[in-house]
Structure 1
Amino acid sequence: MLAFAPLHAAVSAAGSVVTWLADTLTPLSGGAATAAAIVLFTIGVRLLISPLTLAQVRGERRRAALAPQVRDLQRRHADDPATLQRELFALYRQAGASPVAGCLPALLQAPFFLVMYRLFATGDGHPGLLAGRLAGVPLGWHLGDGLTGPVLAVFGVLLAALLALAWYSSLRARRAARATGTLAGTPTEGPGAATLGWLVPLLPFTTVLVALVVPLAAVIYLVTTTAWTALEQVALRRPQPARIDER
């Protein structure tokens, strides 16, 4: 269990912050103070890790700019993987980019999401978080616990929001994958490209499936963080204006 001690400590610290926020918001939000605290805490953490998101977007843009040259190399060296790999590394090195530039920031963000998900899904060390309510529904309530009128209303609204956000993110993921050359188009892009091209647009919908089995507190977190991601996509991943060379 010692290997999980840092995670438990991080979850405990996060829970203390959310509890403090809930206590502070109680005069304004009443019984919905804990739900409001979850939203504010999630936004605060997303702001905290925004530099990692910016680094990820920069890496994606560099790879997108090199995508035409990458595809050209893949066509020219389709029968010589060793030469293709050597030429690709040379291309990225010359451009000052890296084929994995967008992966490291995403990996560094993962612990933050794990801490928040564990806190709001289990109330680890802070069971009071799941005792709060939203529109009369306890934050620890699962869909499997029963479908009363308030439960259907609250979960229905949140699940509808998640579904809409997943649909939007799916469209953006497909466009981004095409721009960076990670979707299948030709045999030179590898035997697994067709599977990747089919899988990428479906991944955002996993949040909807998760929301069906986690408590209301975790669903609120999922809606908030997914909505924030969608806003980031609009603000940071909007198409860049084409540059016109002046002569």
Structure 2
Amino acid sequence: MDLYAFPPIAAVLDVAYSLLMGLTDLLEPLAGGASAALAIVLVTLLVRTALIPVGVSQAKAERTRARLAPRLAELQRKHKANPERLQREMMALYAEEGTSPFAGCLPMLVQIPVVGVIYALFILPVIAGHPNDLLTHTLFGVPLGSSLAGSLAAGTATPATIAVFGAIVLLIALVGEVTRRAFRPVAAAGAASASRSSSSASEPGQLPGLASMQNVLGLLQFVTAVVAMFVPLAAAVYLLITVSWTLGQRLVLRRLFPAAPSAPGVPPALPA
């Protein structure tokens, strides 16, 4: 079953499509042939701006996890032989702090339908039973409905196609590398000091799986660059703006809500 053909979802898509095409027409005197691409950029920025509260919620949850990391690590050290006791003690700690292991997850789930609708506008050739004319527009002569992988496979790739997609993929990969370097496991330092204070600690000083999870998330940044080669150019532009915005937002929120609060009188360290 095509989820996007479900009448309520199709109706929402059609309204969003009409607004997007209206913005494209409005920008045409200013941007000419690049009006559709500029509309994609503006709509993406508008949606990301509306989702800032989600990012704030996630940043607060990350700071809470970092603050609790040393105590959680100590609980794991003390009760590693008794998983049931460990689970009870961890949940008691979360309750004492007025939080939960899933803090920040619910707001993240809320944004999925919004992002799904917007992304669909950039990949679907047909919306609510009519052609998606957005994909017939071009950026530097490259149709927004074309993909790099598809063009190469069909033998229709032009130098402009390779140049435009190459620039987008390179920029996404660059943003991914900056993101990977800037956001390393933040709970490691706090947990490490707790670990070093106990001679019997067997872990390197961080919650099991935390570093691995962060590394996987870092690698996902590069997966986005690969995805950009296979999706329509409209979606690739959306992905570039999205990852760039996300990086900037996370850097700002890291300053506002440091994941590892400094000692009194010591300014918070900037991300590495």
TM-score bin (small chain): 0.7 to 0.9
**Is the contact made by 1:158 and 1:220 (CA closer than 8 Å) also made in structure 2?**
yes
SS of 1:89's equivalent?
helix
Range with bigger deviation, 168-177 or 230-239: 168-177
Q: Which amino acid aligns with 1:39?
A: V
Partners in 1 of 2:58 and 2:165 — Cα distance?
Answer: 32
Q: Give the drift of 1:198.
A: 5.0
Cα displacement (A) at 1:59 = 1.1
Aligned to 2:141: 136
Contact 2:23 2:39 survives alignment (8 Å): yes
Q: How far does residue 92 in structure 1 lie from its aligned partner after superposition?
A: 1.1
Q: Deviations over 1:13-56 (max 9, x none)?
A: 22112111101100100000000000000110111111122111
Whether the 8 Å CA contact 1:67–1:179 is kept in 2: the answer is no
Q: Does 1:233 align with 2:250?
A: yes
Aligned mates of 2:99, 2:86 — CA distance in 1: 17
* Distance change in 2, residues 1:194/1:119 (3 Å): same
* Aligned partner (choices 157, 165, 174) of residue 164 of structure 1: 174
Alpha-carbon separation, structure 1, partners of 2:38 and 2:189: 37
Question: How large is the RMSD of aligned CA atoms in angstroms?
Answer: 2.5
Q: Tell me how far 1:113 sits from its aligned partner.
A: 1.7
In structure 2, give the amino acid aligned to 1:115: V
Greater share of helix: 1
Stretch of structure 1 that moved more, 199-208 or 117-126:
117-126
Partner of 1:175: 185
Unaligned runs of 5+ in 1: none
Aligned pair in 2 of structure 1 residues 42, 69: CA closer, same or farther (>3 Å)?
A: same
> How does the TM-score come out when normalised to structure 2?
0.80
Give the structure 2 partner of residue 45 of structure 1. 47
Distance change >3 Å, CA 64–CA 124, structure 1 → 2: farther
Does residue 1:202 correspond to 2:207, yes or no? no
Residue 178 of structure 1 deviates from its aligned partner by 4.3
Give the conservation status (yes or no) of the 8 Å contact 1:174–1:200.
no
TM-score, normalised to structure 1's length?
0.88
One-letter amino acid of the structure 2 residue matched with residue 16 of structure 1:
S
2:198 aligns with none
Number of residue pairs matched? 241
Q: Look up the equivalent residue of 1:244 and give its one-letter code.
A: P
